[in-house]
């Protein structure tokens, strides 16, 4: 059985710092988290890991996707920290991603939320370049808001950074053919029902809590022609 190939993508880098606030720089946080994900995976699984960058260097979005595609990665995880007013955790896949990518997102999303204390902002879709250009199952994670006072305090704690990284790994445990070599690792997360929100035929998010999906419905009531909510496993 061939080893699973996982490409880890620390967001931003080099001349692109990402979001900067409260004494934190996104590019530094994403690299630290990505390295921790790699370490935990290599310590506990029979797996092949590469990173789009392993230092403070600039890598274009196109090159990040090219690196994953040319290697033949099975999974692509782009690690980010959020900004722009808000709090909590959310994840993204491409709007036209295959069904198995949605399942991949669900596992990663629940794995992270099972490890950190954060508001669930939902499983969402976006036409981000690294999601659009990659040929494998690809997810982009946004853990906490760097410009939120309480979130930034958490991001300054080494234990929280480790928890974010471990959450990614716990989610990956659900992937087929990922062979565990350390049985002491955290048990697999239990998948739960989620609510998919479609606006005018396009999925705009998926949420584990009913109140979260209803809050999003209210935002589209005046502008959408058709709003659908589907409960899925």
Q: What phi, psi does 185 have (nearest 5°)?
A: -65, 155
The two structure tokens encoding residue 123:
């499983």
d(CA 110, CA 192): 9
Active-site residues, by number, are 142
d(CA 21, CA 141): 19
Cβ atoms of 196 and 206 closer than 8 Å: yes
The encoded tokens of residue 208 equal 């584990």
Residue pair 44/185 in contact (Cβ under 8 Å)? The answer is yes
Torsion of CA 230, 87, 89, 83, to 10 degrees: 110
As a whole number of angstroms, the distance between CA 51 and CA 73 comes to 11
Q: Exposed/middle/buried for 119, CB within 10 Å: 0-12, 13-18, 19+? A: middle
**Strand locations in 101-149, DSSP E?**
120-125, 137-145
Backbone angles phi, psi at 199, to 5 degrees: -120, 120
């Amino acid at each position: 059985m061939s080893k699973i190939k996982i490409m880890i993508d620390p967001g931003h880098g080099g001349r692109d710092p990402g979001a900067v606030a409260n004494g934190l720089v996104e590019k530094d946080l994403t690299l630290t988290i990505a390295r921790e994900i790699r370490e935990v995976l290599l310590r506990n699984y029979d797996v092949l890991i590469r990173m789009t960058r392993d230092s403070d260097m600039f890598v274009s979005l196109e090159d990040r996707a090219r690196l994953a595609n040319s290697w033949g990665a099975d999974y692509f995880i782009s690690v980010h920290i959020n900004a722009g007013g808000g709090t909590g955790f959310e994840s993204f896949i491409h709007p036209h991603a295959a069904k198995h990518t949605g399942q991949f997102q669900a596992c990663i999303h629940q794995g992270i939320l099972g490890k950190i204390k954060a508001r669930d902002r939902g499983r969402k879709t976006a036409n981000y370049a690294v999601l659009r250009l990659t040929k494998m199952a690809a997810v982009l994670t946004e853990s906490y808001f760097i410009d939120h006072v309480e979130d930034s305090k958490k991001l300054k704690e080494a234990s929280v950074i480790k928890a974010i990284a471990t959450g990614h790994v716990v989610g990956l445990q659900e992937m087929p053919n990922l062979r565990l070599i350390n049985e002491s690792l955290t048990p697999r997360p239990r998948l739960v029902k989620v609510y998919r929100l479609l606006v005018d035929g396009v999925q705009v998010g998926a949420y584990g809590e009913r109140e979260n999906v209803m809050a999003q419905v209210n935002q589209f009531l005046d502008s959408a022609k058709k709003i659908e909510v589907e409960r899925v496993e």
